[in-house]
Structure 1
């Protein structure tokens, strides 16, 4: 028996038809026009990238969601987000461009997500990257532009939640822990918020128990020497280093990080206490800023990053961002490991995340370019569609043009297009009544009957010829 094709869409993806496509195009046009007015130039990039591009700083969560494969000896991946791709293009093709660079984009990305409301495995990001501008002035521009885009779409009810990876890392660094452990703790914040502190601590203990070999006897070696040794020895012992889409080097570094945890047990306990305090630091800006200043004082940390954040918050007033729609949350991590400073999310009235972004000052250098500060954000178009009422999208004037003389029909259709109508012509030579029924089924706004005497235009909503 031959294979029977089942013509169904792949799970996590969708077919979109006329009305949905028109709505999406209108939303994209509004957002890109908003970006363009703020001086952001368009950029178009391939869907296909070298997988290595996303292994540098993306983090385990995103790496696990990559669509990737090897073809012709090349490790390739479908783009899971735009930022790394934009920076790759800047490094390779815009090295001499004046900075700051203001770039905008709109296009599909792919992640192996669990499908749920307004969350798909293929979805569209619309966003900007501001490259080469440091500090609060650039952060405020990005935040202000993200809010302006929502307003232009008619979305007035939203909450802007702001965190700061730089503040978190500065506090953790005060404990004297190795950088790798500090980084891992920083990116545990999201899991602490969703699963609770005890569950995350237990996961760390379980991870230590799952080490494929006993590394205690090698603990005296320096990290780099230990990594080199493990890269050579573990494959010969049958330990696979090519699972989960991560590079062998990254897996080895994680093993070494686990080995070093035992050296820092006391400070690790203090780190858990600090992370617990950070996840509790959520609320209005004045209240949380006071909490964080007290925390900096407790851990003898200079509040420089908090001072910059306060400057950003002050500048947001000039962008018309209401203070009562801003929440500070120092338990937010956003998952992507390339963030270095301010991070943010904007949620709609129903709690659905519409937009997210932040500052990533180390990513350009990590991808092979010269060190350059940067900040950016992206809307999830599918989330925006869910937040915008269909009635807010302007209807399109559309007309079906019919008549006995097809030459006149063609000319009339061209004339109507010049007047702003979206036109289609009758190609089946049907009766007037049949074409009238067809136009209504297609939800067209008008029917045009063409003769030597002219064009009779009928508004299908008013039932009167014009």
Structure 2
């Protein structure tokens, strides 16, 4: 069990860790410039927090376990945890509230290139932010962070859950069936209509044999018919935890499922048209207008987001409209987006989730929108020079008597902002210079009797192989 748990996870060695921390710092700094404040949440949460709204694809990847009589889970994503923290302790804060975060998440999925079962998300949420301005801001912020780490060649795929919801509102289908159809959009494009139809209808179930409703009766007549049938079968509805009326209504919903099949077929025909729409805004928006009408609330909202992205200076050439975009998380209610690098790796994603605060026990309905980077994938796509990284200096004493002076030199250099490595192996001068060069240190300072007596150092630049003599008193600033 232990071996299987860690398979697909990995150690992050010093060089990679240093670079990832540098990139993470840049992303955090970018979000801070937009007014986002950092918070942290536990890695372990109650399992129920994630099972409510994640969707079946992600729920199946949650590391879950029981301990102390409680059902727990390792955090598979940050949004639900952040919203739980907001509901628990920040509902008295003025809105909108911009919160950012960074830390590990865990998903039991097949490891592949730049995809691990433990990875790091860096992201932010605007709680109380209204569309379209807050939606456009999170996309613009996501792009700004990528630009800051040197990722300039990317594609922003944008969709809107409201488009599918509006199409399905034209059919008299239960909310559960609509949900199944909406979250089958990506499968609809990838697999075609037949397997999706089969899956949706299988989830609807079939009426018990011999209890099909008579054709043409309405719900009131159906209730009377069911009461007579159950009475004739001598079935007592008062023995369970539900009232007889609740049992009748539940059974009626089951029997009505057969009536949903023609509606499901008609709804799928519309969704196929939506899933087929994709391309640049100039290409896709007219197609969406034809399908939904220019008076569609979701269409107008999407149009407004695109106009604001232009004002944010996000190039329209990097934007693709995707009618089938779903992201697999069932808490989304409006805008959804993903950003991909030129090799097709997803770097970040997010969207709007106006119902999640209420679902987690918030005092009042609160709109919210957010996004998260996958740090490991951003790092693989980044092209930056670590100009802010401290320079590393080797300080070595020739003899034991020189070591106290070497310590003074090291302390002064550290106070000036350098990273200083002291020789603790009593190497020779030649070996120390060779070791410092091999480690790509910036410079070496070898301290001997002359330097100690004269209160100076000799700074050996390892890249240019030049030397300069510097008084100890002058080591207050960078060389």
Whether TM-score is above 0.5 comes out as yes
Tell me which residue corresponds to 1:128: 124
1:215 is displaced (CA, Å) by: 8.0
Following superposition of structure 1 onto structure 2, how do residues 255-294 of structure 1 map, counting pairs within 5 Å? Answer: 261-294=257-290
Cα distance in 2 for residues equivalent to 1:270 and 1:442:
67
Bigger radius of gyration among the two: 2
1:430 is displaced (CA, Å) by: 1.6
Cα distance in 2 for residues equivalent to 1:9 and 1:421:
40
Question: 1:102·1:131 contact (CA, 8 Å) conserved in 2?
Answer: yes
Cα distance in 2 for residues equivalent to 1:23 and 1:258:
56
Tell me which residue corresponds to 2:365: 371
Aligned equivalent of 2:329, options 323, 336, 343: 336
Q: Is 1:308 matched with 2:301?
A: yes
1:282 is displaced (CA, Å) by: 0.5
1:162 is displaced (CA, Å) by: 0.5
For 1:134-168, what per-residue CA distance to the aligned partner results, in whole angstroms no more than 9, with x for missing partners? 11011111111111111111111111110000121
Q: Is the alpha carbon distance of 1:293 and 1:322 closer, same or farther for their aligned partners in structure 2, counting shifts above 3 Å? A: same
Question: 2:391·2:442 contact (CA, 8 Å) conserved in 1?
Answer: yes
Q: Is 1:59 matched with 2:61?
A: no
1:59 is displaced (CA, Å) by: 0.8
Q: Is the alpha carbon distance of 1:437 and 1:362 closer, same or farther for their aligned partners in structure 2, counting shifts above 3 Å? A: same
Secondary structure of residue in 1 paired with 2:132? helix
Cα distance in 2 for residues equivalent to 1:123 and 1:257:
43
Q: Is the alpha carbon distance of 1:436 and 1:392 closer, same or farther for their aligned partners in structure 2, counting shifts above 3 Å? A: closer
Cα distance in 1 for residues equivalent to 2:198 and 2:355:
31
Cα distance in 1 for residues equivalent to 2:336 and 2:167:
17
Secondary structure of residue in 2 paired with 1:135? coil
Cα distance in 1 for residues equivalent to 2:392 and 2:8:
33
Q: Is 1:323 matched with 2:311?
A: no
Using the size of structure 2 for normalisation, the TM-score is 0.84
1:170 is displaced (CA, Å) by: 1.2
Q: Is 1:186 matched with 2:182?
A: yes
Q: Is 1:21 matched with 2:17?
A: yes
For 1:65-124, what per-residue CA distance to the aligned partner results, in whole angstroms no more than 9, with x for missing partners? 000101010111110000000000000011210100000111100000110011110000
1:394 is displaced (CA, Å) by: 5.8
For 1:173-219, what per-residue CA distance to the aligned partner results, in whole angstroms no more than 9, with x for missing partners? 1111111100110000122233232232233455567x8x9588498
For 1:261-298, what per-residue CA distance to the aligned partner results, in whole angstroms no more than 9, with x for missing partners? 4221111111111111011110111221111111114x
Cα distance in 1 for residues equivalent to 2:133 and 2:384:
35
Secondary structure of residue in 1 paired with 2:6? coil
Q: Is the alpha carbon distance of 1:24 and 1:72 closer, same or farther for their aligned partners in structure 2, counting shifts above 3 Å? A: same
1:438 is displaced (CA, Å) by: 2.3
For 1:225-250, what per-residue CA distance to the aligned partner results, in whole angstroms no more than 9, with x for missing partners? xxxx9xx79xxxxxxxxxxxxxxxxx
Q: Is 1:397 matched with 2:391?
A: yes
Q: Is the alpha carbon distance of 1:80 and 1:292 closer, same or farther for their aligned partners in structure 2, counting shifts above 3 Å? A: same
For 1:402-457, what per-residue CA distance to the aligned partner results, in whole angstroms no more than 9, with x for missing partners? 01322111111111123322111111212112222322333322211123132222
Question: 1:154·1:392 contact (CA, 8 Å) conserved in 2?
Answer: no
Aligned equivalent of 1:441, options 413, 424, 438: 438
Question: 1:180·1:257 contact (CA, 8 Å) conserved in 2?
Answer: no
Q: Is 1:450 matched with 2:443?
A: no
Q: Is the alpha carbon distance of 1:392 and 1:322 closer, same or farther for their aligned partners in structure 2, counting shifts above 3 Å? A: farther
Aligned residues: CA RMSD: 2.7
- Bigger shift: 383-392 or 443-452? 383-392
Using the size of structure 1 for normalisation, the TM-score is 0.86
Aligned equivalent of 2:98, options 97, 102, 124: 102
Aligned equivalent of 1:426, options 423, 434, 439: 423
Q: Is 1:383 matched with 2:385?
A: no
Tell me which residue corresponds to 2:73: 77
Q: Is 1:36 matched with 2:29?
A: no
Tell me which residue corresponds to 1:48: 44
Name segments (4+ residues, structure 1) moved above 6 Å. Answer: 218-221, 254-259
Question: 1:215·1:259 contact (CA, 8 Å) conserved in 2?
Answer: no
**Runs (5+) with no aligned partner, structure 1:** 222-228, 234-253
Q: Is the alpha carbon distance of 1:205 and 1:393 closer, same or farther for their aligned partners in structure 2, counting shifts above 3 Å? A: farther
Question: 1:181·1:257 contact (CA, 8 Å) conserved in 2?
Answer: no
Q: Is the alpha carbon distance of 1:116 and 1:393 closer, same or farther for their aligned partners in structure 2, counting shifts above 3 Å? A: farther
Cα distance in 1 for residues equivalent to 2:5 and 2:164:
43
Cα distance in 1 for residues equivalent to 2:144 and 2:438:
38
Cα distance in 2 for residues equivalent to 1:287 and 1:255:
47
- Bigger shift: 334-343 or 255-264? 255-264
Cα distance in 1 for residues equivalent to 2:257 and 2:329:
23
Cα distance in 2 for residues equivalent to 1:176 and 1:342:
24
Aligned length: 428
Cα distance in 2 for residues equivalent to 1:365 and 1:216:
41
- Bigger shift: 84-93 or 406-415? 406-415
Secondary structure of residue in 2 paired with 1:175? coil
